[in-house]
Structure 1
Amino acid sequence: MRATSAAHAHADPSRPRADRPPAALLQQSASARLKADGSLSDVVGLSATDIWAVGQEDVWEAWQNRSVITHWDGSAWTEFGIRNDASGAGHLRSVAAPSPREIWAVGDGHDGLPYVVRGDGSAFDRVSVPQFGSRDWLGGVAAVPGRTVAVGSRGGTPLIATATSAGWTVTEGENDGTLYGVALTRKGDAGWAVGDDGGRPMIMRFDGDTWDPVPAPSVEGGFLRDVAVDGPRKAVAVGGVYHDGGKITPLVLTWNGKRWSRASIPTRYAELYGVTGDGKGHFWASGYDPEHAGQAYLLRGGPSGGWRVVRGKSSPAPRTMRLQAVTHVGDLTLAVGHVVDADERYTDVVERFQPGTPKTVTATPKTQSPPAQR
């Protein structure tokens, strides 16, 4: 576990004005009905009826927890197993889907090695990457047709692993740090990876050939956990800033094609874990607001650069809700994460924000057993 809550790693629980979401958005809270102590770490949507999420069950049992891959088809969540899985994945942190027939996920294996999974929409297999070792850790993955990139760390230095038709290549950064989030342009000819060096934000840029560090605003105590890209002149990275006393303020950095700059956020204290965009200049960031710990918390940004808060419904019972990741497809914004109750029990959560009249959401899961190994 890292010292901070990551977009693709379950957050440690903390202890808990009812604001309504904007009038234009209707909110629904549901669950993928994972087993005891379940948490969803990441989500990606191809359409409103084709959404993939990953995470883990039994989050407190480090050597017994089980990875989760689950799919939303518009009416129910279906869990999928992993074939040729001798050791078992302890935790899947990130998922990417360049097409309905190509889904990638990364995380940890119980064998002490990074865990990489690839699926075709009906079955999933663990992928062997010979270049990985016990010093490696993976936090994020992005994929487009023909290129998959996973990021993390190798013994305290940034790690970037790329898969193409030629196979896997693994490169290390020259300075200390860990990468948690990565995003590619639609063509895969450019991209960004974000993280921190233990004291300040870290950003690396892909120019179609190599990954190189680029200047980021010097924010003492700052860290980045996810990034979304909307063409060569627009990208957003999110995270937080540590302060004395353990308080964290939200951090949003924006790229305008020439430089990264810090955006003004209408929340004093909050943690941001995930960010997504719609390809039209709008972005959504998900996280946790300690002053409204029991409510869903998102930020919504437009092409003009302004950001506003979107909240879910309040709860009569004490609880803490952390939305680890968010995706946007069509007019649907869907965020996933977990709720921690007063007894420190985890329950996975799925929050939907959508214009118009809400439809009834069926959360009854189905289970897809892995086919026999071939």
Structure 2
Amino acid sequence: MKPSARTAVALGLAAAVMTPSPALAADPVLHAHPLPTLRAEAELTDVAAPAPNQTWIVGHQALKPNYPGNPVVHRWNGHRWAGFTIPNFSSRGVLRSVSATADGVWIGGTKDGAAYVAQYVNGSFVQVAAPAGLRSAAPEQTSAGVWLPGDPRTGVIWRREGAAWIPYFMPMQKVLAVRARGAEAWAVGGAPGEDDSVPGVAHFTGTTWENVPYPAPFGEGSILEDVLPRTANDVWVAGTNYTRGEPRPTEPLLHRYDGATWTPVLLPPEVIGLSSIARDDSGDVWISGLAQAPGWDARPRPVVIGTAPDSIAWTVLEVPGAGESGVHHEGWDTLAVEAGTSRLWVLADTRPDGPVLATG
């Protein structure tokens, strides 16, 4: 992507990280992975891989076209998929989130217009009461606790403490991701304002959430969708800026924060938006998103890009088994790194073929 006025004027940051280096030592190849049997109107919205041979997917499969419902939770054990019963969940409910670490697995969504939360305990899911009034749930299991973002514009995020959800003031309107390093957590989404089209970043010090000013790029709106606190002084944020202009209607956002300064990271020119970011056990950084070749008739396609963090040299991995074009959904986690390994798991929604899963 050519440097833009947004980069030069609105950001006013240090020079982009452009140091050349060899590609990743062992570039992986993504392979299509079989999915469990799903109905034609299925959507898969989240993936997590907290341990070797333990990969979770969630979503829903419509009972008929344009009639969302019937929640889906499956786990891959290295050989086959196993489905799970969701307690006290009607067929009209929708699951949208699975968050998992070695400390636990949580799922969340909406049931009958109210938030639904469940925790995996001793081989099955157990419903956990959500805070009163919450309409949708996307719990985040982190080393700094289990977090539950409040409804947009409420300025509240909840943390599980004992058997209760404790509210914390959040200097953001919309929280799309919470990630932690030790007892400190980071959140990204939309900042306070008249609407939620300005990116927001917040940092949890261990006791309170503090706003971290992030320069809004020039555009019709933008959002940060994921954050990676790689070290105490190297925090990555990723998202999408909606330019509604030429040559493409969107452009990616990727920046690193050293505790004082945001630095933009140069990306492959074909990348037009970013979704989820993670690191593998070797320290390499991987990001899912969409790419689009030049040309008026080109269509966006799902990709994963990866680099060593100290000298940026991107590897672009194509997601196999995709339909005619990739679809971007704000806030969906589409990438996981299998803990204890460097295996990638990637969810993609494609048109007209629907969800695909790839690994490598």
CA distance in 2, matches of 1:241, 1:55: 26
Give 1:141 shift: 1.7
CA distance in 2, matches of 1:95, 1:317: 25
Task: Give the alignment of 1:279-358 within 5 angstroms.
Answer: 280-291=282-293, 293=299, 295-304=301-310, 306=312, 308-312=314-318, 318-320=324-326, 324-329=333-338, 330-341=341-352, 346=354, 348-353=355-360
Give 1:27 shift: 2.1
Query: Counterpart in 1 of 2:105?
Result: 103
Give 1:121 shift: 5.9
Query: Counterpart in 2 of 1:163?
Result: 160
Partner AA of 1:318 in structure 2: E
Task: Give the alignment of 1:164-313 within 5 angstroms.
Answer: 164-165=161-162, 167-173=164-170, 177-185=173-181, 187=182, 189-197=183-191, 198-220=196-218, 221-245=221-245, 247-278=249-280, 280-291=282-293, 293=299, 295-304=301-310, 306=312, 308-312=314-318
Q: Does the aligned pair in 2 maintain the 1:295–1:311 contact within 8 Å?
A: no
Give 1:255 shift: 2.4
Check 1:93–1:316 CA distance in 2 against 1; reply closer, same or farther (3 A cut): closer
CA distance in 1, matches of 2:322, 2:212: 46
Percentage of identical aligned residues: 22
Check 1:316–1:283 CA distance in 2 against 1; reply closer, same or farther (3 A cut): closer
Identify the range of structure 1 (307-316 vs 195-204) with the bigger mean alpha-carbon deviation.
307-316
Which secondary structure does the structure 1 equivalent of 2:314 belong to?
strand
The answer to whether structure 1 residue 74 and structure 2 residue 78 are counterparts is yes
Q: Does the aligned pair in 2 maintain the 1:180–1:193 contact within 8 Å?
A: yes
Give 1:211 shift: 1.1
1:276-311 Cα deviation digits (max 9, x unpaired): 112653211112224374754012132215252423
Check 1:340–1:46 CA distance in 2 against 1; reply closer, same or farther (3 A cut): same
- The TM-score normalised by the length of structure 1 is 0.75
CA distance in 2, matches of 1:152, 1:31: 35
Q: Does the aligned pair in 2 maintain the 1:161–1:170 contact within 8 Å?
A: yes
Q: Does the aligned pair in 1 maintain the 2:201–2:214 contact within 8 Å?
A: yes
Q: Does the aligned pair in 1 maintain the 2:281–2:342 contact within 8 Å?
A: no
Query: Counterpart in 1 of 2:3?
Result: none
Give 1:266 shift: 1.3
Partner AA of 1:123 in structure 2: S
Give 1:203 shift: 0.5
CA distance in 2, matches of 1:121, 1:264: 45
- The TM-score normalised by the length of structure 2 is 0.78
CA distance in 2, matches of 1:325, 1:79: 20
Q: 1:94 aligns with which of 78, 83, 97?
A: 97
Give 1:89 shift: 6.6
Give 1:336 shift: 1.3
Check 1:74–1:314 CA distance in 2 against 1; reply closer, same or farther (3 A cut): closer
Alignment RMSD: 3.0
If asked which structure has higher relative contact order (CA below 8 Å, sep 6+), I would say: 1
Q: Does the aligned pair in 2 maintain the 1:159–1:179 contact within 8 Å?
A: no
Partner AA of 2:98 in structure 1: V
Check 1:306–1:153 CA distance in 2 against 1; reply closer, same or farther (3 A cut): farther
Check 1:60–1:174 CA distance in 2 against 1; reply closer, same or farther (3 A cut): farther
Give 1:95 shift: 1.8
Give 1:22 shift: 9.7
CA distance in 2, matches of 1:27, 1:316: 12
Q: Which runs of 5+ in 2 are unaligned?
A: 1-23
Which secondary structure does the structure 2 equivalent of 1:261 belong to?
strand
Q: Which runs of 5+ in 1 are unaligned?
A: 1-20, 354-374
Which secondary structure does the structure 1 equivalent of 2:231 belong to?
coil
Q: Does the aligned pair in 2 maintain the 1:238–1:274 contact within 8 Å?
A: yes
Partner AA of 1:51 in structure 2: T
